[in-house]
Amino acid sequence: MERPVLWIHAEALGPANPALQAHPGRPALFVFEPGLLAGDAGPISLQRIVFLYECLLELPVTIRQGDGAEEVLAFAARHRADGVVTSAWVDPQLGEIAAGVAAALPLQVLEPEPFVVLPQPVDLRRFSRYWKLAGPRLRPDRAGTDTFS
């Protein structure tokens, strides 16, 4: 990709956003979708919107309201982009937007630094099982013998 635009979504509103880090200065966009964040539970409160907006003002991003994929594609067209770069998401709603974008333009998804890398498959039936795997990989050496918690 020579001339990408960046799609910034609500799981990565910080300066460490991997798309912003990889392509400093490239045009970037954030879209407020009607179902943003709460989906069927929405609409989210003004408190939440103000909070997000204050995060966004700190980042070099154009802010728009509308349908996520449509807005990203229109933004890409305005900037004659040959692709879109974003960061990985967990929310399946964001996955749907990403699929809409990827159907029309190359989409590159950058992974943020993981919290802990675990051998697959991870047993997630209870936190205790997860912690049995994650704990030893997270404890700094010196605290390995912790007995206080």
Enumerate binding residues for other proteins (CB under 8 A): 10-17, 25, 27, 32, 37-65, 78-79, 87, 90-92, 112-116, 122, 124, 127, 130-131, 134-135, 138-143, 145-149
**CB 101 to other proteins: min, Å:** 18
**What stretch of H or E contains 133?**
helix 127-138
> Which long-range contacts link 143-149 to residues 24+ away (Cβ below 8 Å)?
none
Min dist. Cβ of residue 147 to other proteins (A)? 7
Nearer to other proteins, 25 or 119 (CB): 25
Cβ-based nearer residue to other proteins, 52 or 72: 52
Residues composing the chain:
149
Q: Looking at the DSSP assignment, which residues form a beta bridge with residue 114?
A: none
Rounded least distance, CB 23 to other proteins, Å: 12
Cβ(20)–Cβ(8) under 8 Å?
yes
